[in-house]
Amino acid sequence: MTLRQDTGGDKFRIELDKQVLDNRGVAGELLLRRAEKIKMRFGEDIRIGRFAGFDLFIRSGFNNTAELVLRGKNNYSTRVTDMALGTIRSLESMGQAFEERAARLESDIKDSQKRATELEAKVGSPFEKEERYHHLARRQSEIEEQLDLTKNQAPNQLDTGAADEVEEKNSEVQTTAKTIRSQTKPSIKI
C-alpha cells in the first residue's frame, strides 16, 4: 500500500510501451489490442508498463482470455474485459481495493482462528450418537437377514402352472416355424 499511487479522477496515469498516457479510453484500447495479441501465448507474463506505482504485466488466461497483473511484493490480477473503459475500471479498482482486501483477509483470519479453537475442543470427544448408530446398524442387519435379501428370489415367485403354459406356447410357436420353413423350398426356373 505504501507503493501505490493515486490514479483517481484527473490523477490517472499509465505507462504502456514507454508512453505515459492520461486518457483512460486510449489506454483501454491499447490494452485490448495487446490482449488480442497475447491470447495464444499461454502462460507467459509480458511486462507492458507501470500503473499506480506497480509493474504492469499481461498474460494469457484460460478460454482465450487475457489478464492484467500488477506486481509488487504480491501479484494482483484482473481479467481484460471486452470494453476498453471496463478494462481500465477493473485495473483501477484492483489497485484501489487493497484496504478492503486487507480488512477482508484479517476478518477471515480471525474467523478461521475462532473456528480452529472451537474444533480443537471437539477433537477426540466421543460421537454423541454413536450408541444409536450401532443400534440401528444391528437392526438393519437383522432386517436384511429376515428378508433374506442376499438370495435371488425371482425364479421362486413364478407360478409353476403359468411357467408350464408359457413353455407349451413357446414349443408350439417353434414347431409352427419349423413346419413353415420345411414347406417352402427354394426353386430355380430357367
pLDDT tens by residue, 90-140: 888 776 666 677 778 888 999 999 998 888 888 877 788 888 999 999 999
Percent of the chain with pLDDT strictly greater than 70: 68
CA distances from 29 to 77, 105, 179 (A): 18, 33, 86
State residue 90's pLDDT score: 80
How many Å apart are CA 134 and CA 138, to the nearest integer?
6
Q: Are 14 and 56 in contact (CB under 8 A)?
A: yes
How many Å apart are CA 13 and CA 9, to the nearest integer?
10
- Distance, first Cα to last Cα, the chain: 104
DSSP labels for 14-41? EEETTEEE--HHHHHHHHHHHHHHHTTS
- Spatial neighbors of 36 by CB under 8 A, at least 6 apart, are 66
pTM reported for the whole predicted model: 0.47
pLDDT tens by residue, 169-189: 655 655 555 555 555 555 555
Measure the CA angle with vertex 131, ends 128 and 132; round to 5°: 90
Task: Give the closest residue to 88 by CA, choosing from 7, 19, 20.
Answer: 7
Give the residue ranges of DSSP H helices in 123-159. Answer: 130-147
> Which H helix or E strand runs over 165?
helix 160-183
